[in-house]
Copies of this chain bind each other. A is one copy, B any other.
């Protein structure tokens, strides 16, 4: 079987980038030929996370090349949020936590959507289901996605499952959720680009 691309939505946020990286790692461990890619520029918050984790960013793509056999969508399902040529490629899987709309396939696939606050919360479960240990770096990436999507557990979309997953992941990543989370969210507010009078 040929390569599989894994990516989140356009205008990627921390969940779209980190979930793509971490799910690609899980799939590689399970012996699949996958590559995490991204559909747009990193925001400041995600840059902070990848720098902290010493993790390279996924490669930027404009469209899915013809030699790519299939794709896996994370953190989105609606076609208008996906790669421009999404209708021309085989979608093998979707892992998401959003409403479902503007999505269709010709064939059956693995579609896993759960009403939780973050894709990373679902991925945390999938590592356990597959009996794969989560590395320190992957734990930090998943934790960052949860902090980002739930605004440090303050968003109305945040569930108990997200909080529990974040606590577990913070343990593995050996960071203090509140301290790290605030620093990360602050980095995302992008004050460094503004002048003092702003």
Contacts and interface: CB of A to CB of B under 8 A. Distances in A.
A175 to B, nearest CB: 28
A111 B106 CA distance: 17
A2 B97 CA distance: 24
A101 B111 contact: no
A134 interface: no
Interface in A93-118: 97-116
A107 to B, nearest CB: 5
Q: Please state the number of chain copies in the assembly.
A: 2
B112 A111 contact: yes
Contacts of A100: 100, 103-105, 109, 111
Contacts of A106: 99
A99 B105 contact: yes
Given A108-B114, A112-B112, 17 more contacts: A98-B108, A99-B104, A99-B107, A100-B100, A100-B103, A100-B104, A100-B105, A100-B109, A100-B111, A101-B104, A101-B105, A108-B113, A108-B115, A108-B116, A108-B157, A110-B114, A111-B113
